[in-house]
Amino acid sequence: MSWRAATVAGVHRETATARTIALQVPGWPGHEAGQHLDLRLTAEDGYTATRSYSIASVADGETVEVTIERLSDGEVSPYLTEVVTGGELVEVRGPVGGWFVWRPEQKEPVLLVGGGSGVVPLMAVVRRHHETGSQAPLRLVYSARDPDSVLYRDELAGLERDGVDIRYVFTRQTPPGWPRPAGRLDDDLLAATAFAPELEPTTYVCGPTGFVEGVASLLVAAGQDPRRVRTERFGPSGGNP
């Protein structure tokens, strides 16, 4: 799989620390919801840095979107979230990854559990599910630090108005009047949101390592089939380099 030249076609601010970058990739073969791409930057002195990012968008010709959270000690993400502008040239390789993928042929219920920027590949699933008019029951559980750190806020609000089942969990600070105090996603909340194991749901969990391993253990302890719980872990940086 070869590297392709790509042009930054647009940069959209999601939160104080995250940007969605639209890439124009001539020859992009299309992708499935949940897949990744590798992005390579080359400095003037020839030094290169490669990072893997989840694709946020659904297949749309030669345009691919990634959403990148700035890591304070990152080497690549500060550039991509603060410096890069339209017209910039980068290289991409992909799509890659065939495991953490949702396909419209899947008819079983789908539970998506995202922590922080782990929501990015899940957003591709929500968009694909919505775009194809899938009848498979779908629920997104999105754990965020506080309301200001929620990615895709307006789009998610619109999807909720269209009937998409979205549950938020705020770990540090909630909106005023929120029914549940700030805190981690726990077994009570998961029990209230997970589909019954008899329905043979497929669950996708993505986020920082500790979050993913914690949620996956709770789901399996609650009777979910471990073979139907698919996980994707970010590193400590939350950036999936």
Partner 1 sequence: MTEPTHLDGNAAAGVLRDVFAVDITAAVGGCDGCGAVSVLAETRVYVDAPGAVVCCVGCGAVLLRVVTAPGRTWLDLRGLTYLQLGTP
| Nearest-angstrom CA–CA distance, 109 and 113 | 13
Q: Nearer Cβ to partner 1, position 5 or 96?
A: 96
Task: Answer positive or negative: Cα dihedral of 182, 187, 189, 193.
Answer: positive
Q: Provide the token pair at 62.
A: 């030669």
Q: Provide the token pair at 61.
A: 């010709």
Residues 98-137 as x/- pattern, contact with partner 1 by CB under 8 A: xxx-------------------------------------
CB of 130 to partner 1, least distance (A): 24
Name which position in 7, 24, 50, 106 contacts partner 1 (CB under 8 A): 50
CB of 91 to partner 1, least distance (A): 11
Q: Provide the token pair at 232.
A: 């994707």
31 scored as a contact of partner 1 (CB under 8 A)? no
Name the nearest CA neighbour of 138 among 111, 115, 156.
111
Name the nearest CA neighbour of 79 among 66, 70, 87.
70
Q: Nearer Cβ to partner 1, position 158 or 235?
A: 235
Q: Residue length, the chain? A: 241
49 scored as a contact of partner 1 (CB under 8 A)? no
H or E segment to which residue 193 belongs: helix 187-193
46 scored as a contact of partner 1 (CB under 8 A)? no
Name the nearest CA neighbour of 74 among 118, 18, 24, 115.
18
Name which position in 52, 132, 174, 193 contacts partner 1 (CB under 8 A): 52
1 scored as a contact of partner 1 (CB under 8 A)? yes
Residue 220, phi then psi, degrees to nearest 5: -70, -40
30 scored as a contact of partner 1 (CB under 8 A)? no
Select the span of 33-41, 66-74, 132-140, 144-152 touching partner 1 (CB under 8 A). Answer: 33-41
Q: Provide the token pair at 130.
A: 């919505």
Region 221-240 residues binding partner 1, contact defined as CB under 8 A:
230-236, 240
174 scored as a contact of partner 1 (CB under 8 A)? no
Residue ranges binding partner 1 (CB under 8 A): 1, 36-38, 50, 52, 93-94, 96-100, 208-210, 230-236, 240-241
